[in-house]
Amino acid sequence: MKSFTPSVLILMSLLATPGTTLAWGSIGHKLVCGAAENHLTKKGGQFVKKISEYGEFLKGGVLSFPESCLWPDKVKYSTRMDSYEHHFLNIPSASERINLERDCASLSCLPVGIQKSITYLSNPPKGEREKGRQAAALRFLGHYIGDLHQPLHVSNASDWGGNRIKVRWYSKKSNLHRVWDVNIVEKSGLRYPGSVAFITDFKTDPGAINIKRWFEDSYTLTNDRAYLHPDGVRIKNGDHLGEVYFNANKGLVIEQIALAAHRLALTINAIAAGNPPVVFGLSW
């Protein structure tokens, strides 16, 4: 009998499960990228406009920046299957810290996806192929920075980032990952484009660019908030998540979307200014 790696088994399962989500959902991702546009410097805005126009070299043509940030989820099962594992970082559940030598030994994970996107965006294109690659890189970067700030994208391999933890969200079937991707966002009343101004103006401190720290913070939120009921009891299959869990995490979800928008803009502004940040280092 042929054996499969855990990552391949996850992909096979997700392809066979209708409605499975692996991101903030369309509302969250468009809010991240829409608000990020409002935080760009003049040079950063010009950079995004120019690179977005290279979308003509990709199937589907030019998209607005918020719409383009949904594209990576649409292609990870088809034309860009090699990008699938760039949407998350799986960590053994007993581990207290991220260790990229262990957690990204195949060099296919969210930190690598972000680093590749930054690298492609940092080098002027020499032809149509490279212009198309830059257009794709901008879309991936916008999406991946959003993924990074959804805590369950930096979480436990054993439960597939909460996808295997089946719960009841109020009266409906869901899973813990979807609760964070979609359910809390929708119940919070966030909408696109109606909530872009709210997310743009939401008061939070993005700090300096430190992508390693962003990963560490997300993993802390995974363990201290996402996997726990407000009373500290760990969430398990069959649990009911309702008003208490929602009220405990609504503010955090909104803040994470706002932080992602600020930090995406910081990253793009740095690239546009010729100072691209470095993400990946096996010394983590």
* Sheet hosting strand 172-175, strand order edge to edge: 172-175, 166-169, 240-241
Residue 1 in domain: no
Say if 13 falls within a structural domain: no
Tell me if 181 is assigned to some domain: yes
Q: Is 63 helix (H, G, I), strand (E, B) or coil?
A: coil
Which pLDDT value is given to residue 280? 66
CA distance 155 to 190: 25
Please give the tally of structural domains in the chain: 1
**Cα distances (angstroms) measured from residue 126 to each of 58, 118, 133, 143:** 16, 17, 11, 25
pLDDT at 5 over 90: no
Phi and psi of 258, rounded to 5°?
A: -65, -40
Share of the chain above pLDDT 70, in %: 90
Find, among 238, 256, 81, 52, the residue nearest to 154 by Cα: 256
Is 169 part of a structural domain of the chain? yes
Angle CA(212)–CA(215)–CA(221) in degrees, nearest 5? Answer: 145
Say if residues 182 and 175 touch (Cβ distance below 8 Å).
no
CATH of the domain at 26: 1.10.575.10
Q: Which residue has the higher pLDDT, 59 or 183?
A: 183
Classify residue 16: in a domain, yes or no: no
Give 225-266 pLDDT, tens digit per residue: 999 999 999 999 999 999 999 999 999 999 999 999 999 999
Instruction: Let me know if residue 59 belongs to a domain.
Output: yes
Buried b (16+ CB within 10 A) or exposed e, 169-190: beeeebbbbbbbbbbbbeebeb
The verdict on residue 2 lying in a domain is no
- Residues in Cβ contact with 19 at an 8 Å cutoff, skipping those fewer than 6 apart: none
Write down the pLDDT at residue 167: 98
Distance CA 223, CA 165 (A): 14
Let me know if residue 28 belongs to a domain. Answer: yes
Domain housing 160: 22-272
Q: What is the pLDDT of residues 6-61, one digit of tens each?
A: 443 333 333 333 334 446 899 999 999 999 999 999 999 999 999 999 999 998 88
